[in-house]
Amino acid sequence: MNIFELKSVSAGYGGAPVIEGLDLGIDVGEFVSIIGPNGAGKSTLLKVLSGDDLLMAGSVLFNGRPVREYRPRDLARQVSIVHQTIEAVAPFTVHEFIRLGRFPHQPAFTVESDGDREIIEWAAGMTGVTGLFTRHLTELSGGEFQLVRIAHALAQNSRIVILDEPVSHLDIQHTVMIMDILWKLNREGTTVVTVLHDINIASDYASRIIGMKKGGIFFSGTPDEVLRYDLVEDLFGTPCIVMKNPTTGRPFVYPVPGYVK
Amino acid sequence: MKTGYKIAIILFIGLVLIAAALSLGTRTILPWDIPRILLGGPGHVDYTILVKLRLPRVLLSLVIGASLAVSGTVFQSVLKNPLADPYIIGVSGGAALGATAAIVLNAGPFTVAVAAFIGSIAAITAVYMLSSRLRLGSTALILAGIALGFILSAAVLLIYALARTEQIHRAMLWLMGDLSGARYDMLDGLGLVSLLLVLAVMGFHKHLDVISMGERFSKNLGVTEGNIRSLFWLASLLAALAVSLAGVIGFVGLITPHLMRNIFGPRHLRLVPAAAFGGAIFLLVSDALGRLLAPPYEIPVGIVTGFLGGVFFLIHMMLREKPE
């Protein structure tokens, strides 16, 4: 069953729409990677999915009901999003920050329940940040912070997780660490939707790759179906060769130097 | 240090300071005599000084200090700006215009307070309307507040330019912050309303935690614009009440939240009560010093908070600066 159903969606920030006439369905249990050139509307699409009111035309259904009709708190209980950047960093400890993820589940004046505590422990264990609990957010490295933000998202909800470029600017150890966590979550039933800049990381982990260009969907399919040299060249305007990753058996895309259109 | 100890120590210091503020003045009343004097009932001159003069003033300084500090805490979280204080959106400008106009018209203290309150509420409403789709956290609101502040202070200066000297002096004293008019009839209502407003803010302590990490972040966790609007009004009302009764007392609402955040951390479950307590004690001490430093003159409390707060904060920052 489709948890997200987008019909001829146009969305943007006032003025010209960033996304135009987009149709998309996302199934329970999918691992969707969105790739595409800068400015194609990838982040905007994620924001639309997470309930931001950017809709100019069309409809966005979540579990068969328009996203707009959900109370923000109800939506927050079911969909977590990790944005590309965080706007402000108050000096919380890692533990305090992850606990904020339980916010939509706790009415005012209630204390943390045993259930909340269990979920927080699980989220921290899943991402391997339990050892960082007493550290302050301001003292973390980029990789550690990203793990902590994912733990926060999991504490909020672990059924549907949306991530905007979760591994940009990270070293390969943290990149693989985070992608492995997402893969493991996905195998346990979490629906993962993520924007990635690295085509090969998308290829290794995703069950479906969506290529976006100029506010619309350019292609959508399994890595084997869509990561063909001609399609990738059309999407990015960069000639590529495609081979097989020897460890995963997935397509491996390599740009040809010197021939950018 | 364990938080329990911190709280115990700070509460103890607070009690000592309250006792000291009640004791000291042109006539010293020893702290251990206070219960006996109070039980002795009216008739004695010490009783009159204590009950009619010092107690209302101490209570007023506590209530106003707490209101300003809690208001500042909320604005700093909602606007995600460490320089935010209770007056950032024009409360003080509106109050100053209202009060100055009333003073120039030779109004009594009660009318001045009412005029100041009306002025501040008008200013808040104007800023609120200006930032029509209330995108708090964006700089739009702060800029609207600053712009309005300029207009209002220009209007106040215009009144000064036209008014007579003794009225200007009275108006300027009001602007500097003044607790000398403290009477019980001010306290009943104000104390109760401020307490209710602070409790309402406490009801939002989890929202405040989430909001302090950013607008988008809090929205994705289910914080609504309505929540933010409520907090905006709670903080504005606290500031408006405080400023109408005691004038523009600066620094309390800016510095107390900072200090308390450094001591107790950013969680508002602790931060809001800590700021309320800290602001109350800060203003109590400042007002007592203003009374005691240069008798028979009184230094307006706003001047003392500026000096004391500024110096204290600089020292605190230098001590906090850890060598690399």
CATH of the domain at B52: 1.10.3470.10
For the ranges A14-18, A29-33, B182-186, B194-198, the lowest mean pLDDT is seen at: B182-186
Whole-angstrom Cα Rg for chain A:
19
Q: How many CB pairs under 8 A join A and B?
A: 75
Nearest CA of chain B to the CA of A245: how many Å? 37
Nearest CA of chain B to the CA of A82: how many Å? 9
Inform me whether the pLDDT recorded for A180 exceeds 90: yes
pLDDT at A258: 86
Q: What angle do CA B78, B127, B131 make, to 5 degrees?
A: 70
pLDDT at A134: 93
B206: contact with A, CB 8 A cutoff: yes
B293: contact with A, CB 8 A cutoff: no
**What pLDDT band is residue A99 in, cutting at 50, 70 and 90?**
very high
Q: In a mutagenesis test of the A interface, which of B80, B212, B213, B224 is the best target, namely the one with the most A β-carbons within 10 Å?
A: B213
Q: What are phi and psi of A243, to 5 degrees?
A: -125, -170
> Where along chain A do its domains lie?
2-84+159-255
pLDDT digits (tens, 9 = 90+) for A65-96: 999 899 999 999 999 999 988 887 888 999 99
Residue B142 and residue B134 in contact, taking contact as beta carbons nearer than 8 Å: no
Hey, are the CB atoms on A72 and B209 less than 8 Å from each other?
no
Q: What are phi and psi of A80, to 5 degrees?
A: -110, 145
Residue B303 to residue B95: CA distance in whole angstroms: 18
Q: In A55-193, where does DSSP find H-type helix?
A: 72-78, 94-99, 114-127, 142-156, 172-187
**What pLDDT band is residue A108 in, cutting at 50, 70 and 90?**
low
Residue B164 to residue B73: CA distance in whole angstroms: 39
Inform me whether the pLDDT recorded for B136 exceeds 60: no
**ipTM of this model?**
0.89
Residue B138 to residue B146: CA distance in whole angstroms: 14
Q: In a mutagenesis test of the B interface, which of A50, A52, A103 is the best target, namely the one with the most B β-carbons within 10 Å?
A: A103
Range of the domain at B14: 3-320
**What pLDDT band is residue B134 in, cutting at 50, 70 and 90?**
low
Given A76, A88, A91, which is nearest B220 (Cβ)?
Answer: A76
For the ranges A93-107, B14-28, B30-44, B248-262, the lowest mean pLDDT is seen at: B30-44
Inform me whether the pLDDT recorded for A40 exceeds 80: yes
Given A50, A86, A106, which is nearest B206 (Cβ)?
Answer: A106
Region A155-178: what's the mean pLDDT?
Answer: 92
Nearest CA of chain A to the CA of B73: how many Å? 13
Residues in Cβ contact with B135 at an 8 Å cutoff, skipping those fewer than 6 apart: B141, B215
Instruction: Give the closest residue to A195 by CA, choosing from A10, A40, A54.
Output: A40
CA atoms within 13 A on the CB side of B145: 25
Would you say the C-alpha torsion A238, A243, A244, A246 has a positive or negative sign?
negative
Nearest chain A Cα to B138, which residue? Answer: A87
Residue B100 to residue A107: CA distance in whole angstroms: 45
Residue A31 and residue A207 in contact, taking contact as beta carbons nearer than 8 Å: yes
Chain B residues close to A76, C-beta within 8 Å = 220-222
B82: contact with A, CB 8 A cutoff: no
Inform me whether the pLDDT recorded for B250 exceeds 50: yes
Inform me whether the pLDDT recorded for B323 exceeds 50: no
Given B204, B214, B220, which is nearest A88 (Cβ)?
Answer: B214
How many structural domains compose chain B? 1
Please count the other Cβ atoms lying within 10 Å of the Cβ belonging to residue B224.
14
pLDDT digits (tens, 9 = 90+) for B72-100: 999 999 888 877 888 888 888 999 999 99
Burial of B219 (0-12, 13-18, 19+ CB in 10 A): buried
Cis peptide before B296 (omega within 30 of 0): yes
- As given in the structure block, the two tokens for residue A219 are 């292609």
Chain B residues close to A72, C-beta within 8 Å = 219, 222-224
Residue B288 to residue B298: CA distance in whole angstroms: 10
Chain B residues close to A50, C-beta within 8 Å = 220
Chain B residues close to A77, C-beta within 8 Å = 222
**What pLDDT band is residue B262 in, cutting at 50, 70 and 90?**
confident
For A2-84+159-255, CATH gives 3.40.50.300
Hey, are the CB atoms on B215 and A87 less than 8 Å from each other?
yes
Q: Which helix (H) or strand (E) holds A160?
A: strand A160-164
Higher-confidence position of B267 and A259: B267
Q: What is the DSSP letter of A87?
A: S
Chain A residues close to B214, C-beta within 8 Å = 86-88
For the ranges A215-229, B125-139, B183-197, B294-308, the lowest mean pLDDT is seen at: B125-139
Would you say the C-alpha torsion B176, B179, B180, B186 has a positive or negative sign?
positive
Inform me whether the pLDDT recorded for B26 exceeds 80: no
The model's pTM: 0.89
pLDDT at B126: 87
Residue A35 to residue A195: CA distance in whole angstroms: 6
Spatial strand order in the sheet of A191-195: A79-82, A160-164, A191-195, A31-35, A208-213, A216-221
Hey, are the CB atoms on A104 and B222 less than 8 Å from each other?
yes
Chain B residues close to A83, C-beta within 8 Å = 216-217, 220
Residue A128 to residue A177: CA distance in whole angstroms: 10
Residues in Cβ contact with B255 at an 8 Å cutoff, skipping those fewer than 6 apart: B282, B309, B312, B313
B239-274 residues labelled b (16+ CB within 10 A) or e (exposed): bbbbbbbbbbbbbbbbbbbbbbbebbbbbbebbbbb
Hey, are the CB atoms on B216 and A87 less than 8 Å from each other?
yes
- As given in the structure block, the two tokens for residue B151 are 């207009």
Greatest mean pLDDT range, A173-182, B31-40, B121-130, B140-149: A173-182
Hey, are the CB atoms on B219 and A52 less than 8 Å from each other?
yes
Residue A112 and residue A106 in contact, taking contact as beta carbons nearer than 8 Å: yes
Bridge partner residues of A254 (DSSP): A241
Residue B240 and residue B248 in contact, taking contact as beta carbons nearer than 8 Å: no
Nearest CA of chain A to the CA of B206: how many Å? 7
**What pLDDT band is residue A15 in, cutting at 50, 70 and 90?**
confident
- Kindly report the length of chain B: 324
pLDDT at B321: 60
B11: contact with A, CB 8 A cutoff: no
Given B137, B212, B215, which is nearest A90 (Cβ)?
Answer: B212
Please count the other Cβ atoms lying within 10 Å of the Cβ belonging to residue B165.
8
- Kindly report the length of chain A: 261
B215: contact with A, CB 8 A cutoff: yes
One-letter amino acid for residue A122 of the chain = W
Q: What percent of chain B has pLDDT over 70?
A: 95
Instruction: Give the closest residue to B123 by CA, choosing from B154, B151, B157.
Output: B151
pLDDT mean across residues, chain A: 92
Q: Which helix (H) or strand (E) holds A9?
A: strand A2-11
Nearest chain B Cα to A50, which residue? Answer: B220
Q: In a mutagenesis test of the A interface, which of B77, B221, B225, B263 is the best target, namely the one with the most A β-carbons within 10 Å?
A: B221
**What pLDDT band is residue B324 in, cutting at 50, 70 and 90?**
very low
Residue A160 and residue A103 in contact, taking contact as beta carbons nearer than 8 Å: no
For the ranges A17-31, A116-130, B38-52, B289-303, the lowest mean pLDDT is seen at: B38-52
Higher-confidence position of A37 and B294: A37
pLDDT at B133: 57
Q: What angle do CA A168, A169, A170 make, to 5 degrees?
A: 95
